[in-house]
Structure 1
Amino acid sequence: MALGLNVSEPEGTCSHEDCPFHGSLSVRGQIIEGEVASTDMDKTVVVEREYDVTVPKYDRQMKRRSRVPAHAPECMTLEVGDTVRIAETRPLSKTKSHVVVENLTEEGDD
């Protein structure tokens, strides 16, 4: 199934309806790259990304970090420390409105 993104389909298969590859979940909006910070929840990963913010008073850069909960499809194997690409989707729960579409760590290992 084409997502409208230039990503490769995962090797595994699943039959979950909230999978963008094997189910009916559509993606739209933001695409974010970050590192998996936590895999403790069921079918959810927390993706963390760091960015710089300018502090005008001191004329310096300050590091900030944001943590985004994202749905982890069953067909993808994700571990803490993996670099992933997530895409925005409809709200899946109170906090989740992103889904993992690509594991960038696997590509570097090939």
Structure 2
Amino acid sequence: MVEVIVKELPERPRPGEKVQLPNGEFVRVRHVGIPWILPPKKVCNDPECPWHGHLSVRGQVFTVTVEKVYGRTATAIHEWLHYDPKYKRYERRRKKMHVRVPPCIDVKPGDIVYIGETRPLGKTVRHVIIGRMEDVTEVKSQVLRLEQQQ
């Protein structure tokens, strides 16, 4: 098992930057593929971190509430509205999920976080925390000007 080292940075790194840890190891900040979530301020050398390791995020991204944190795992509740066509109403549904907590992201019960789907990390763990609600930026969409030809 690799000893995980976490380093706090004065400002948020950009994807693609290399950061040196206290033990001399260099860690590259990856781009997760979700444009509105910024990388965390801390850097770690955990291989199962989506930002600094080799864990790829694919599939769905959810907004969930953290219920309990224990070690490197957390229990999160995903709530959504489901439309029932028979009664022409919406009903609330919820599901508890077990998620992996990277050491570079600090979470506590009650936090609203973004989780992404990954490969199976354990018997019930299939998701990883990507960022907190505070780690979100505004996405600037690119508008292409279309000219009409006459």
> What amino acid is aligned across from residue 65 of structure 1 in structure 2?
R
State how 1:1-110 maps to structure 2 within 5 Å: 1-6=30-35, 7-39=37-69, 41-55=70-84, 58-104=87-133, 106-107=134-135
In the alignment, structure 2 segments of 5+ residues that lack a partner are 1-29, 137-150
Q: Tell me the SS of whatever aligns to 1:27.
A: coil
More strand by share: 1
Percent of counterpart pairs with the same letter? 36
Whose radius of gyration is greater, 1 or 2? 2
Unaligned runs of 5+ in 1: none
CA shift at 1:62, angstroms?
A: 2.7
Q: How far, CA to CA, are the matches of 1:54 and 1:29 in structure 2?
A: 23
Q: Which has the higher contact order (CA 8 A, sep 6+)?
A: 1
- Please give the alpha-carbon distance, in whole angstroms, between the structure 2 residues aligned to 1:5 and 1:28: 10
Give the aligned CA root-mean-square deviation in angstroms: 1.7
Deviation at 1:60, TM superposition (A): 4.0
- What one-letter code is carried by the residue in structure 1 that aligns with 2:80? Y
TM-score scaled by structure 1? Answer: 0.86
